Structures are given as C-alpha cells and as structure tokens.
Amino acid sequence: MSNLLRSTMSARLAKLPVDLPPLSAEEEAELEDDEAGDSVGALSGGGYSGLGPPAIPRTKPRTAKPPNPDFAPISGADYFAEALQVAVPARALDCRAYYTPPKQAGGTVLVCHHGAGYGALSFACVARELVGMSRGEVGVFSADARRHGKTKSTAETEDESLDISVLVEDFVHTIRTVWVEPASAPTLLLVGHSMGGSVVTRAVSPLLEAGYRVSGIAVLDVVEGTATEALPHMHALLNARPDGFDNVEAAVEWHFKTKTIRNSRSARVSVPGIVMPSSAAASTATSTSGAASGAQSPHGYVWCTPLRSTAAYWPGWFAGLSAAFLGARTARLLLLAGTDRLDRELMVGQMQGKFQMVVIPGVGHVLHEDDPTHVAEVLLEFWRRNDRLRLPPKVKGVGEV
C-alpha cells in the first residue's frame, strides 16, 4: 500500500470512536493490486449515495482453517446466575437475557445495553467483577437487543427497524416486564455502551415517569460530536471486517488479534453470541422474505447483525445525545477510552460539573471488555456515591395529612 493512501486513511479515520482493525496480509496484498484503480476521494463514500465504497473483493480462493483451541468459546454460565427468555408481548419480542440478582431484595441492579453488533454477553466479565467486588450487593441484568444475539421477534412480520425510538421502547418494556411493580423493583443503574449509551440515556425519563427508581446512568465510550463526525467513514471501517468466518474460534481470534476486543477471555465469552451458522442465517432470511435468495455463503459462520445493514439508523442513534445526557434527571457518568473524544457541549457540561468523567487507559472502544476490573471499580464507586445520596422517604410532619 502506498504511503499516500496509508496516510490518507489514517488521517480520515483518526477520530473514529472505534479502533480500525488492521488488514490481514492477504487483504493488504489484494488492496495493493487494486490500488491503481482506486481514488482517495472514494474513502469518504462519495458517489455511492451514502452507502460507502464496496467491500474489498477477494480474488484468491479461500482455504478453511481448523478451529484454534486457544480461542474456544467459554460459556456465560460462569458469569451470570441465570439465562432467561423474557417474553415481551408489548414489543412482540422474545428477549434473551442474563441476570445475576442482588443478594438482598431492594438492592441495586445494573441494567446494561450493548452497542450495535455486540450482544448481552459483552457485559459478562464486568458483571462477574461487579458482583464479586460488591459481595453481591449489586446485581447485573443484560439482554440482547432487537435483531441481535438470541432475541427473536414473535410478530408475523418482523419489525426490523433499529430506530432509536424503537430501541428505547424495547428497553423500557423489557424492564417493565421483568419488574412489573415499580414499588417493589430494585433501584436501577443504567449502563450503555456506544449505541446502548444513547438508548439508556433516553430511557431515564419514561422509567422515572412509570415510578421506577433510577440512581444513575453510565455511558461507555460514545460522544455525539465524535460519533457524528465518524459516520461518513464508517463504511471504510466496515470494509476491513470479514463477511464471515470458518468457525466460531476464527471469529474470536479475529476480534482479539485485530484488537477489536483486547481481552481474549472476554472475547471467548461474548463473540460466540454475535455470530451464527450461515445455514441458520439463510433459513432466517428465507422465512422472513418468503423466498430463498439462492445465495450461499462461503463461510461457516456469519454475523448475527451485519453492521452495514444498520447504516440508515446511525444518525438517529447519536443526534441530540449530548443534550439528552446532560438533561437526564439522574446522576451521570461518562467512561471514555480517550480524552480527545469530548464534543463542545460535553466540555462545557464537564466544566460546570454536570457529570463525572473517567478515562480508562490502555483500552479500545469496547472498554468494559478490555479492562472489566477497572470499569467495575469505577461503576461501583459511582453506585456507592449516588446510593448514599439517595434521600430517604419523607416523614410527614405534625399536622400534615
């Protein structure tokens, strides 16, 4: 790859809120072959109606790799007390969720929402750290979102929309299904990563209005300004992602070796939930469309949620996020992987003391997977401080009715 093209790509992707996985030797060789016909301007998505440049074509035959036992899947059973299928009739969803309740009734539960393309088990390692460090004083609940992981639609015609309003309604109704009575529900601390940060921020008001106690929100590595600036370059980022993998172990290995997830144990727990056998994907596509496309994937496993298919919803996920975060009627925590990610609105809010910000060193975008111990420490400190500040029920004075 020429120095000009390499430096241009680096400059344009420098402000992305996620790490750009490096090209493999095979992909770099293919890109070098095609470089003469490429234009630098194509990297911005121009001329493709916002869909970005096409994926890098493969010109060499693929050779399937045997599973690498070093990246074998690890069950989530060691990280959560139970796996649940939560029927949410109001949203026509059957949600896969993982839950470890607090040891005492009326405790606090951290309710987590993953980012786009990830899954509920993205919070597995940090959940075990939270429960262990707090000695069971807090619980953790995490669910796969619509069109992610093992959550399935129960509607005759599946609503495939990932609009922010749809995701917020799904999240709120899932909570209302699990804890039907707000008065007897635990105190909730909402935690959201990337896209999930936008969801939990907007879920505060409807939950408070329904009578639930929300002690705080923790948003992990998403800032409106940075995310919005990065959107035109996201397709270039996605071009570095493979369409599929020979086996689950290969998917785990790719995430770890590209530093998409820097903690191999977390990757072995979370990644198996975000890929599925290509045969299952084909049968799902046939059942929803009513006809088979006839296309056969050359991969044994493909993504449960191809990120390129979510592109229409990206602007809506992040528009207005900073104002919504600063206006949320609860305590606010922002965890970032770098200090350069604050936009102007959040910089002003930070100087005014409207939220707590913590930078986690040595991590990538999926910071709660990369360093679950440090993130758990920050979340527990945030919980303890705000739990102490929670006011007791008002005692009526003499003569009050």
Is 277 a domain residue?
A: no
Whose tokens are 């991969």? That residue is 299
**Are 274 and 148 in contact, with CB atoms under 8 Å apart?**
yes
Please give the structure tokens belonging to residue 215: 């002690």
Is 348 a domain residue?
A: yes
Cβ neighbours, 10 Å, residue 400:
7
Is 96 a domain residue?
A: yes
From the list 310, 221, 250, the residue with the least C-alpha distance to 18 is 221
- Residue 108 CA to residue 81 CA, distance in Å, equals 16
- Positions marked catalytic: 194, 221, 365
From the list 383, 391, 102, 392, the residue with the least C-alpha distance to 215 is 383
Is 159 a domain residue?
A: yes
Is 304 a domain residue?
A: no
From the list 226, 229, 232, 227, the residue with the least C-alpha distance to 49 is 232
- Residue 115 CA to residue 128 CA, distance in Å, equals 19
Cβ neighbours, 10 Å, residue 359:
14
Number of domains in the chain: 1
Consecutive H or E run containing 96: strand 93-100
- Residue 108 CA to residue 188 CA, distance in Å, equals 6
pLDDT at 219: 98
Task: Please report, for residues 94, 114, 324, the alpha-carbon distance to residue 193 in angstroms, rounded to integers and kept in the order given.
Answer: 22, 5, 16
- Domain of 333 in residue numbering reads as 76-229+313-389
Q: Beta strands 214-220 and 187-193: pairing type?
A: parallel
Consecutive H or E run containing 224: helix 224-230
Distance of CA 169 to the CA centre of its chain: 17
pLDDT at 341: 72
pLDDT at 163: 97
Is 400 a domain residue?
A: no
What pLDDT digit, counting tens, does each position of 221-265 carry? 999 998 999 898 898 888 889 999 999 999 999 999 999 999 999
Is 324 a domain residue?
A: yes
- Residue 31 CA to residue 25 CA, distance in Å, equals 10
pLDDT at 62: 61
Whose tokens are 């528009």? That residue is 319
Coil, helix or strand at residue 55: coil
Please give the structure tokens belonging to residue 378: 């920050």
pLDDT at 158: 83
pLDDT at 107: 92
pTM of the model: 0.81
Consecutive H or E run containing 139: strand 138-143
The string of DSSP codes covering 309-371 is GGGGGHHHHHTTHHHHHHH-SSEEEEEES-GGG--HHHHHHHHTT-SEEEE-TT--S-HHHH-
Q: Beta strands 331-336 and 356-359: pairing type?
A: parallel
Largest CA distance in the chain: 86
Q: What is the CATH number of the domain that holds 139?
A: 3.40.50.1820
The string of DSSP codes covering 273-320 is GGEEEHHHHHHHHHHHHSS------SSSEEESS-GGGGGGGHHHHHTT
- Backbone φ and ψ for 98, nearest 5 degrees, come out as -125, 135
Cβ neighbours, 10 Å, residue 20:
17
Eight-class DSSP state of 200: H
Eight-class DSSP state of 103: S
- Region of 360 (left: φ > 0; alpha: ψ -120 to 50; beta: rest) is beta
pLDDT at 156: 87
**Are 111 and 101 in contact, with CB atoms under 8 Å apart?**
no
Sign of CA dihedral 377, 371, 228, 95: negative
**Are 212 and 185 in contact, with CB atoms under 8 Å apart?**
yes
pLDDT, tens digit only, all 401 positions of the chain: 444 444 444 444 444 444 444 445 554 444 444 433 333 333 333 333 333 344 445 555 567 788 999 999 999 999 999 999 999 999 999 999 999 999 998 899 999 999 999 999 999 999 999 999 999 999 999 999 999 999 999 998 888 899 999 999 999 999 999 999 999 999 999 999 999 999 999 999 999 999 999 999 999 999 999 899 989 889 888 888 999 999 999 999 999 999 999 999 999 999 999 999 998 765 555 454 444 444 567 889 999 999 999 999 999 999 999 999 999 999 999 999 987 678 899 999 999 999 999 999 999 999 999 999 999 999 999 999 998 655 444 444 444 44
